[in-house]
Chains A and B, each alone.
Chain A
């Protein structure tokens, strides 16, 4: 019997090639069809129709923290946008701090100083092995709740005020902001030219131009000029402690960074930094010892060795796994829902779904949003990785 089937297939190579694929395809279509059919029946029974028309309806719920103008009268689509922007905000903030911390800890772990290496190692071992959700709860429910009330807020050099209601920082109020922005763009373009020119000069004549100093000057002087002659000015709106009622005080004005955002950013960056540190360490250790010795033998200082010889090579090893960590951070930012930071999961998959009851549409949109964010980050990092890869001749 078995032999019969084998010979049957061996005599018909095309069938042998295509039959398993056809079965797979049929299986996938069957599952999708079956689920769609069931969903259709279930929705018919409950009297809901499938569609995205609800996105235009009035959301009529409030969001505690929003980067764009939003009120209860806005549509669900706008609420979705607020959620996405909040997610992107916390991901960007988290990636920024996680990278700085991770690179520092990764380098510190390889330090010749025993204490620094040990402390970094223990930092990594502790923060990596505690579930992120638990860390998030710790920061939010235990650490940040221990902050003082607004009336006795921690005063940070009279600029920012830290209290249980969040961190209040001055708001920047610009006039002619676009001119300032243009000047920064112009400065960056000029700096690129300076660096290109310096490199060319060095390759042709061996003369070194202090490109870093020149570009620093350009970067300071050009925007400064806009203040002097371009009519740009900057004023600050300081947060002011105001009595709202008999016993309730709060800061009014300025920009409020809500405690949810702080807790989330802290937990995400402290957790992800441990993984980035390990990537950095692996990358630096991946550069062969001969490279370091060769660099030292031509008289480079330890700082120069790290900056000019080790890092450019280590980066090629570091970037692919670090990309993964950035992706993880972005996905982990969805834990925001657990502490009521209004990210896409809380706003859209939480509140909006409760109100509309459109489980299929909303969960699908949420998943697709994360999927596109992930894909966007990996495309960008792949592009960057390709750019710094060794160009073989």
Chain B
């Protein structure tokens, strides 16, 4: 194919001044054609037959890139371009296709998201432009964040989350001696403070039913409580799975594999409809707590596998050394093995937490309304029909921002601990 179109000879350094302008001209012709076509609906190649017309920009661009493909041209920019996006004919076609797709799709997307979007106003009628109606999100924002939580009491949710953030951030700056206490406080004391603050009912705080909790804050409440609670269970399960006693080992394996083999949605169904049957007659447990317990058990199985990975990664010498000092099972694990193993699995724990945050929207199937559930509620509100796309795009961007940064952070941790060893 290439030999046939090669009437000018192979592009070479000697004819640099001929090939480069020709290549650039053809390439820009192709790009301009696509741009005009997709943005202004003008077709400058309409004189070609119909089939050819469609592929004209691709052919122009292909020829242009072919003439630009001069090996060791001496021009730094051109060489870099050739190595990175234009190393052979196949690569050049892929490059062109990607550029064309980007040119065609990015401007309309930006139009919808920002340029033609509506930002000012308070009702559906204010959305007059053709783009997205962000007023919808603006009006519903408190609901999307806090659910049906009474608006006069919102400071309680805010305070607990600000406290959490301050505590976690302070971990990075305070001296190591104090760190231990802050961590203990975070894990053993803070959850109760947070729960009390949000749930209320004592210390003069108004009692807020759990059915009113919702929005993005509920996602984090559930994830944080489930993570803290699943950690000790997962640790014991991991130790149990590595134990030499058959009863302990097989019951741990059975527990772990059972929870890992079923989808979260069935676990939630179990929590909401099956679990009440297992409670003694007359005992009632709040649905949110049942769901948190179910997610905790579910995550504990995954946590156990993560921790087991850390336990397996430790060299045998650590066990032998601890045993030779006369340490028993518990002292060996608490003082020697677990501190090292847990340090190894910190990135794994971060990943588990990330997966947990991504899984939480599922609780809407049992009627708890976190962010996605609230959007479902908002989009069916008679005053705000027809804004499903805006809602999901907003939630998507928000979740993406959170999860992306978390995954970047866990990758950084991974790298950090890799070099430590």
B140 to chain A, nearest CB (A): 16
Contacts of B395 in A (CB 8 A): 134
Q: Which of A113, A146, A345, A360 contacts B84 (CB 8 A)?
A: A113
Complex Cα spacing A42 to B283, Å: 11
Binary contact track A301-344/B, C-beta < 8 Å → 1, others 0: 00000000000000000000000000000011111011000000
Q: Are A335 and B400 in contact (CB under 8 A)?
A: no
Complex Cα spacing A353 to B360, Å: 23
B148-206 residues with Cβ-Cβ distance < 8 A to A are none
Contacts of B388 in A (CB 8 A): 137, 141-142, 145
Give the interface centre of A130, A133, A334 by most chain B CB atoms within 10 Å. A133
B95 within 8 A of A: yes
Can you list 11 A-B pairs, Cβ within 8 angstroms, ordered by A? A113-B87, A129-B399, A129-B400, A133-B364, A135-B396, A142-B393, A145-B388, A334-B266, A337-B265, A370-B262, A374-B262
Q: Are A133 and B362 in contact (CB under 8 A)?
A: yes
B228 within 8 A of A: no
Q: Are B358 and A132 in contact (CB under 8 A)?
A: yes
Q: Are A131 and B358 in contact (CB under 8 A)?
A: yes
B84-133 residues with Cβ-Cβ distance < 8 A to A are 84-85, 87, 91, 94-95, 98-99
B281 within 8 A of A: yes
B225-246 residues with Cβ-Cβ distance < 8 A to A are 245-246
Binary contact track B376-403/A, C-beta < 8 Å → 1, others 0: 1001000000001100110110011001
Complex Cα spacing A113 to B94, Å: 9
Contacts of B361 in A (CB 8 A): 131, 133-134
Contacts of B99 in A (CB 8 A): 115
Q: Are B247 and A21 in contact (CB under 8 A)?
A: yes
Nearest residue in B to A133 (C-beta to C-beta)?
B361
B267 to chain A, nearest CB (A): 8
Which A residues have a C-beta under 8 Å from some C-beta of B? Answer: 17, 20-22, 24-25, 28, 35, 38-39, 41-43, 45, 111-116, 119, 125-126, 128-135, 137-138, 141-142, 145-146, 331-335, 337-338, 345, 349, 353, 359-360, 363-364, 366-367, 370-371, 374-375
Known contacts A131-B358, A141-B388; is-contact A359 B277 (Cβ 8 Å): yes
Q: Are A112 and B87 in contact (CB under 8 A)?
A: yes
Known contacts A113-B85, A132-B358, A334-B263; is-contact A24 B403 (Cβ 8 Å): no
Q: Are A363 and B392 in contact (CB under 8 A)?
A: no
Nearest residue in B to A112 (C-beta to C-beta)?
B87
B141 within 8 A of A: no
Contacts of A331 in B (CB 8 A): 261-264
Q: Are B399 and A21 in contact (CB under 8 A)?
A: no
Known contacts A38-B277, A38-B280; is-contact A374 B389 (Cβ 8 Å): no
Interface-forming stretch among B37-45, B268-276, B284-292? B268-276
Give the interface centre of B262, B266, B279 by most chain A CB atoms within 10 Å. B266
Q: Which of B91, B269, B274, B389 contacts A345 (CB 8 A)?
A: B269
Q: Are B95 and A116 in contact (CB under 8 A)?
A: yes
- Sort A-B residue pairs by CB-CB distance and give the 9 closest, nearest first: A129-B403, A331-B263, A21-B247, A114-B84, A142-B389, A334-B263, A374-B261, A35-B278, A359-B273
A82 to chain B, nearest CB (A): 18
Interface residues on B, range: 35 or more
Give the secondary structure class of B's interface.
helix
B365 within 8 A of A: yes
Q: Which of A39, A41, A366 contacts B266 (CB 8 A)?
A: A366
A41 to chain B, nearest CB (A): 5
Q: Are A116 and B270 in contact (CB under 8 A)?
A: no
Q: Are A133 and B372 in contact (CB under 8 A)?
A: yes
Complex Cα spacing A332 to B263, Å: 7
Q: Are A113 and B95 in contact (CB under 8 A)?
A: yes
A199 to chain B, nearest CB (A): 30
Q: Are B389 and A41 in contact (CB under 8 A)?
A: no
Q: Are B279 and A38 in contact (CB under 8 A)?
A: yes
Known contacts A25-B247, A133-B362, A137-B392; is-contact A363 B269 (Cβ 8 Å): yes
B195 to chain A, nearest CB (A): 25
Known contacts A116-B95, A371-B261; is-contact A337 B365 (Cβ 8 Å): yes
B359 within 8 A of A: yes
Q: Are A24 and B248 in contact (CB under 8 A)?
A: yes
Contacts of A128 in B (CB 8 A): 403, 407
Q: Are B372 and A370 in contact (CB under 8 A)?
A: no
A359 to chain B, nearest CB (A): 4
Q: Are A116 and B273 in contact (CB under 8 A)?
A: no
Q: Are B399 and A130 in contact (CB under 8 A)?
A: yes
Q: A116-B91, A131-B358, A374-B262 provided; 14 other pairs, C-beta below 8 A?
A: A17-B245, A20-B248, A35-B278, A38-B279, A42-B276, A116-B94, A129-B399, A138-B392, A138-B393, A333-B263, A334-B263, A345-B263, A349-B266, A364-B274
B404 within 8 A of A: yes
Q: Are A335 and B362 in contact (CB under 8 A)?
A: yes
Complex Cα spacing A125 to B365, Å: 27
Nearest residue in B to A125 (C-beta to C-beta)?
B404
Nearest residue in B to A139 (C-beta to C-beta)?
B392
Known contacts A130-B399, A132-B358, A367-B262; is-contact A28 B407 (Cβ 8 Å): no
Q: Which of B94, B274, B389, B403 contacts A130 (CB 8 A)?
A: B403
Contacts of A134 in B (CB 8 A): 361, 372, 392, 395-396, 399
Q: Which of B248, B263, B280, B358 contacts A370 (CB 8 A)?
A: B263
Nearest residue in A to B248 (C-beta to C-beta)?
A24
Complex Cα spacing A119 to B95, Å: 10
Complex Cα spacing A135 to B395, Å: 10
B55 within 8 A of A: no
Q: Are B273 and A353 in contact (CB under 8 A)?
A: yes
B54 within 8 A of A: no
B258 within 8 A of A: yes
Complex Cα spacing A320 to B280, Å: 43
B169 to chain A, nearest CB (A): 22
Binary contact track B354-374/A, C-beta < 8 Å → 1, others 0: 000011111011000000100
Known contacts A17-B245, A334-B263; is-contact A366 B372 (Cβ 8 Å): no
B398 to chain A, nearest CB (A): 10
Contacts of A17 in B (CB 8 A): 245
A124 to chain B, nearest CB (A): 11
Nearest residue in B to A44 (C-beta to C-beta)?
B281
Nearest residue in B to A374 (C-beta to C-beta)?
B261
Known contacts A21-B247, A332-B263, A334-B263; is-contact A115 B95 (Cβ 8 Å): yes
B251 within 8 A of A: yes
Contacts of A35 in B (CB 8 A): 278
B303 to chain A, nearest CB (A): 16
B186 to chain A, nearest CB (A): 25
Binary contact track B60-89/A, C-beta < 8 Å → 1, others 0: 000000000000000000000001110100
Q: Are B258 and A115 in contact (CB under 8 A)?
A: no
Complex Cα spacing A313 to B277, Å: 52
Q: Are B392 and A141 in contact (CB under 8 A)?
A: yes
A105 to chain B, nearest CB (A): 13
Contacts of B274 in A (CB 8 A): 359-360, 363-364
Complex Cα spacing A114 to B274, Å: 53
Nearest residue in B to A338 (C-beta to C-beta)?
B365
Complex Cα spacing A134 to B246, Å: 43
Q: Are A375 and B277 in contact (CB under 8 A)?
A: no
